[in-house]
Amino acid sequence: MEAATVKELYAGKGKYLHQRIQINGWVRTLRSSKTFGFIELNDGTFFSNLQVVFDENLANYKEVSKLITGSAIKVAGQLTESPGAKQPFELKAECIEIEGLSAPDYPLQKKRHTFEYLRTIAHLRSRTNTFSAVFRIRSVAAYAIHKFFQENGFVHVHTPIITGSDAEGAGEMFRLTTLDFDKPPRDEKGAVDFTKDFFGKETNLTVSGQLEAETYCMAFNKVYTFGPTFRAENSNTPRHAAEFWMIEPEIAFAGLRENMNLAEDMLKFIVSYVLENTPAEMQFLNSFVDKSLLERLTNIVKSDFGHLTYSQAVEILKKSGEQFEYPVAWGIDLQTEHERYITEKHFGKPVFVTDYPKEIKAFYMRLNDDGRTVAAMDLLVPGVGELVGGSQREERLDYLSKRMDELGLNKEDYWWYLDLRKYGGVRHAGFGLGFERLIMYLTGMTNIRDVISFPRTPKNAEF
């Protein structure tokens, strides 16, 4: 008999009822009495479990009734309507084959565990309801992202993970080397001689694929990257990880307005797609993790995102009458508390803040006509804060060169980036979306370590 899946049983709408089937899965919990018992079986294909009923007619009744949580079994029997209220059908076992026993010290109980404890058993936590929901949603969301961009004419670019430029300007980098740490080769000045290293120069793990993506944007018009990113910042917060995934679209012949429209369309598409395709998971998270999750996500799809400039945001904050811990003044970057006020209290929905002072933004952002702000945009969302950061890029070679000089950047390191402005450079724009922050937003999980399978954070690279 070929094995069916629990997903098929739920999708089959009665097709399997009163049929003999086989299901392979893992015991989530077991309740037994003298002559019969129940097993909650999860086969990994679906969020919900299948209730298996077994009785003393089984040849191995005694062994089955003593199965420890986590054990793997194969069950053959007839699918019937269930008299119990909590499940539409159940499997009357005729034969249960024990495929892999679990040990008595199995660390997962049917009781609720703290997320902190589950992080210490990250190799097993995917067997819990919450992590089963989170990681299926993560998978579906990743698919939705590719679907959105592919269906809108974007080309997916795999930008390098190893980068030779040490000046991408987005934070501390992890150095990559094959040199012997105990006795590295030295040059005549006594410094480490990286010309003897694997690549013949200093190399690091990427902190952003944006600059490389821009080069492909000038060939394909619309491109996106979706890959891992590494930051060696000593950030100890629920929102930062040393290894995370980013989505970075880049569009040609487009400015800030098109950029914001793209971000809004993309976000709405992903949210709708996830809501539509993982209803059981969303319902569970809404009940046990974040009671306002469904309302918030539905609201996202329906509402038009807010728009205001940085200057307007500063005015609103000044007039708000709120007591902020940090002062509000034009020219200073918005603090987390300021961003939260704007998106959560003043607007109550996602908001684009645009046109920041050039001093607090990156060198590649396009200078506005006022000469003191750049065409930048941050998307702030309730609960998570900054979800998207982007800008129109400076396509004018003279402006870009001048700005790099002002900031003391070595233009030789960026020769290929500057070439883009020389050979048919056009208006273009793009943004970066932190994938894990999106997953946090989609699931209601409040710690980034709980939306990454094996999170890497300062002092933690277990597994």
Q: What is the dihedral of CA 439, 150, 374, 387, to 10 degrees?
A: -10
Residues binding RNA: number (CB under 7 A): 74
Integer angstrom CA distances of residue 366 from 185, 191, 363: 42, 38, 8
Does position 331 bind RNA by CB under 7 A? no
Does position 234 bind RNA by CB under 7 A? yes
Residues pairing with 38 in the sheet: 31, 53
Does position 51 bind RNA by CB under 7 A? yes
- Answer for the pair 20, 27: CB distance below 8 angstroms, yes or no: no
Does position 38 bind RNA by CB under 7 A? yes
Amino acid in the structure at residue 72: A
Rg (CA), the chain: 27
Binding window for RNA (CB under 7 A); candidates: 229-237, 254-262, 286-294, 299-307: 229-237
Does position 85 bind RNA by CB under 7 A? yes
Considering only 23, 42, 58, 90, the residue that binds RNA (CB under 7 A) is 90
Tell me the per-residue interface mask from 167 to 186 with RNA, x by CB under 7 A, - otherwise. ---xx---------------
Does position 335 bind RNA by CB under 7 A? yes
- Answer for the pair 9, 79: CB distance below 8 angstroms, yes or no: yes
Considering only 35, 60, 287, 410, the residue that binds RNA (CB under 7 A) is 35
Nearer to RNA, 236 or 323 (CB): 236
CA atoms within 13 A on the CB side of 326: 12
Nearer to RNA, 119 or 146 (CB): 119
Does position 100 bind RNA by CB under 7 A? no
The full DSSP string for 120-142 is HTTTTGGGSHHHHHHHHHHHHHH
Does position 323 bind RNA by CB under 7 A? no
The helix/strand/coil state of 167 is coil
The pair of structure tokens assigned to 175 is 């150095």
Min dist CB 119 to RNA, Å, is 6
Does position 119 bind RNA by CB under 7 A? yes
Q: Which of residues 181-220 bind RNA (CB under 7 A)?
A: 208
Min dist CB 390 to RNA, Å, is 9
Q: Which of residues 352-391 bind RNA (CB under 7 A)?
A: 385-389
The pair of structure tokens assigned to 415 is 């020769």
- Answer for the pair 162, 203: CB distance below 8 angstroms, yes or no: yes
